[in-house]
Amino acid sequence: EIVLTQSPGTLSLSPGDRATLSCRASQTVNNDFFAWYQQKAGQPPRLLIYGPSNRAPGIPDRFSGSGSGTDFTLTISRLEPEDFAVYYCQQHQTSPLFTFTFGPGTKVDLK
Amino acid sequence: QVQLQESGPGLVKPSETLSLTCTVSGGSISGAHWNWIRQPAGKELEWIGHIHNEGTISYHPSLKNRVTMSVDRSNNQFSLKVSSVTAADTAVYFCARDPVDGHGHFDKWGRGTLVTVSS
């Protein structure tokens, strides 16, 4: 099973700052099968980016995704107050195991 | 606008079976993979498995011996059963849609339901 590691664990920033979140996979990931989510307390995750640079419908263009192979990045160009949340990366593999895995998350909090 | 809603008991005794249902509204249950994902308090998300409306099923390898999923097309619902539960199965359980657009992601989620395993 591919394991995802996210860094940093916590990112303390101010509104207007640029946020750069990293996700590293233990093996090469199919780029089409990679995504990022935002989760706020008491809410389900919300799809932000998939495939790995396509924004989901309704997602502001300050969110962007990049990367390939084992290293992926989510960038928030200018943090808005509503962006302070936990961000998860996710991958899907079909062989040798068929599964989906998530990273442990990066918390973006107010500095 | 497709919406998902989980329902089921919030408390299950150890060794018993956890049963949840997800109701899909605002759209058809056809043409997508319908998933169960759980999240223990303060921990990361864990994919449990998915089912297609035509009955194709995949389970997480570590859970496949205890998990059963089914679909009820007439009521636009799909269900999850986890047998022989322990405290480790305590989590918020989400149902979610994979639109099967070639990208293996989850674009619609239910709000989640907390299931506690305790005697």
For residue B105, pLDDT over 90 is answered with yes
Interface contact B45-A45, CB threshold 8 A = yes
- Interface list for chain B against chain A, based on CB atoms closer than 8 Å: 35, 44-47, 58, 60-61, 94, 96, 102-107, 109-112
Convert the pLDDT of each residue in A11-43 to its tens digit.
Answer: 999 999 999 999 999 999 999 999 999 999 999
pLDDT at B106: 96
Q: Is A58 left (phi over 0), alpha (psi -120 to 50) or beta?
A: left
For residue B88, pLDDT over 80 is answered with yes
> In whole angstroms, what is the distance from residue B113 CA to residue A96 CA?
31
Which residues have CB under 8 Å from A69's CB, separation 6+? A25, A28, A29, A31
Residues from chain A that touch B49, judged by Cβ atoms under 8 A, are: none
Interface contact A105-B44, CB threshold 8 A = yes
Q: Is B84 left (phi over 0), alpha (psi -120 to 50) or beta?
A: left
Distance from CA of B24 to the nearest CA of A (A): 16
